[in-house]
Structure 1
């Protein structure tokens, strides 16, 4: 690690010396521009001043578009620097784990983003330019965000275990009986408590949390407070958590949001990462629905530290070819699939609610006719090929309810595990901030 970093720093130094020599030997035809320089060393990576300044400009634009008041520049700069450090650590983990996003996957993601905004790709590109963003840099930022999302799915899901007893208890509980309950659009603020904090540090965090709560009651914009004070990874988005069901939130937040009016804010609550406040932005849903179910089977091949992305793709392509040539899908799934939950059943996922699946798998499943085989495709879990065996419309069955319970129990633990994991990798990293 140190050798690679030293090589990078040496290269930067050599480039500076070469540029200096060229400038000394060449007539000055234009004003000399300052060289980019390192503002932080993060394990085996560096953060450059240009990266920091570019991200600051993006954050300024985002806050301005929300018509929110800008926090102090030093506070904003510190928040952005921490965000870049955490991103760098996650991207390094992805590099070591062989996690990649292909151009094809990135193009599909950009197409989806454009469609959600009722635009063509060309219109989306023009919108980025109009907002002062470089489309090429925006494209690579989306790629980085997709890689980070995939890293989180891998690392956090393996930390979360849900037992059969927990599922039974959940289904028997009052919350478990409300499977199609209301959804809540939430924002949060996390006032952190350092590990091994003494009483004075805990009291200081509590005072800041109480002050933040009082300011929110007095009409100070919650998003602005999140940008200025929150240590949550979504702080720069105004603390926006997206849509959640009450059952996806850890106690006591699940009960609190159920009885809150839109616009309400919870009092600060002590959690392992620190004091948390939630604001309810919107509500929706709660009505009963008939669900479409799909009977599907699949084969999964995962990239890993010893198997690169291209190797995983080549394996799934060979398996796809063997199925097309007439080999038995179930036998190949039993022998090769790396999904332990379905491999022993010949890759069969049984009847499943599409909403329980990741978007990439759901889209491919929906576009594949019954009885047909899909082409190889990528999800956060790896490379797949699937076969749709049937479709039906049904009310919730016991199997669906159990799957929902599993997903909801995992989801309500995801955010807490994510914050714990992010703090862990930050604490274990070598970080040297130069400004």
Structure 2
């Protein structure tokens, strides 16, 4: 573990000054440190060269650079130099954990077939709407390499299988526990539940301030346009890192008290943290929100007509505003979708039919407007000089069906996953403590 190794290097260079016999135990009484101390030598991990040997396996500076390039690409390259150095230290720590996971899996005779890694790589490329060859070229243009992502995929597959063999069989969820959850779920009908993303960073009393600083930097990058899922995949130490930190739909009662208190006061799209939790710090992101066992109006399917006008090249802001005002006045008088085609022809507007549009798939601003419309009413005009101006007319609405409660198997699986995740954190913590790590 990077932090532990760093602390060891610092501790080895400490010499008590003055009354060297005076010592101060930590809050847990586990460490006894000099009350006054002087540190000799350079021990800042931000200054040290970012390479390490983990139980004999070398992590090179190139490994760190290529993995860091993935994060920079997720942020469009808009990362300050000082932030890059902080990210570099965190990336090294992640690579150390990844190496420990692969080594532990190998020690338990768990091997990942290269063909499986290639299949997963193809799926990742598909998410970017590229072929594997195109995606490899893209990675190289970003300063990364296919081997870097494939190594991460190997680590995720190996760790997942190790947990299924060494942890999951010993996690039991009783029938009464599941029934209790079902009862609480029914009692909570109509209350809020959230689709939460989490980035969990383990921390010790010695490195807590460093982890808090790292978490704050991650939050700033995400608020600046970075991908939450990308940061969760690279930095989160929870088992949900492989799915971008997605915890799925949860009620506050299912979360640790600290996270529940934060989520309850958050709106969709907000991010909060760092939040102290047992064993470390968490960053949470509210991806969506709904009512328990209640039909969500945003799941309704809409039939819409869209009227749009475009502005010729060279249109000034004043000209666009005048045209948009005229368009708004005309569309405001629309009485139902039956008039849309005729009115569109008079105004020189394009008319497009859109059926089976789910409300939740639309931008948040449009969701609110459309949910408040009656059949035949239209939205206010929206758009820009570049994209033109348009209105949407509501032609029909198929209301969402009543939400169904998760079944016994789904609840049991979620509870098992939570317990496996907790034990996985302890497992990785022990691997770090037993590791032999040399920094160059």
Please report the TM-score for the alignment, with normalisation by the length of structure 2. 0.49
Please report the TM-score for the alignment, with normalisation by the length of structure 1. 0.50
> Which of the two has higher C-alpha Rg?
2
